[in-house]
């Protein structure tokens, strides 16, 4: 379910009711800004996060975003850092 920020403010009770069924996305300025979860969903999310070590989360991130990381590494190798040409005055 998705609401604008104004709709969420004006219909907060309905938003909370929808959150019990699934995540509710709040849109601000045409982009998703926030997500409202039920307490049950939050506890499940927190428990799954707490069970993973930092190394496991890093491995999961790297496998999930492998293509993006490769693109960023290629961009760095080709162009270097965006701030390499900046000079101290």
Please report the DSSP string for 21-80 in residue order: TS-EEEEETTEEEEEE--HHHHHHHHHHHHTS-HHHHHHHHHHHTHHHHHHHHHHHHHH-
For the chain, give the mean pLDDT.
90
Global pTM?
Answer: 0.55
Q: What is the pLDDT of residues 2-33, one digit of tens each?
A: 999 999 999 999 999 999 999 999 999 989 99
């Amino acid at each position: 379910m998705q609401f604008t920020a104004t709709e969420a403010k004006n219909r907060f009770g309905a938003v909370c009711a929808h959150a019990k069924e699934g995540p509710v996305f709040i849109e601000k300025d045409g982009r998703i800004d926030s997500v409202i979860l039920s307490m049950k969903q939050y506890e499940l999310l927190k428990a799954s996060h707490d069970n993973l070590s930092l190394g496991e989360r890093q491995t999961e991130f790297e496998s999930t975003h492998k293509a993006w990381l490769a693109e960023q590494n290629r961009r760095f190798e080709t162009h270097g850092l965006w701030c390499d040409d900046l000079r101290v005055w």
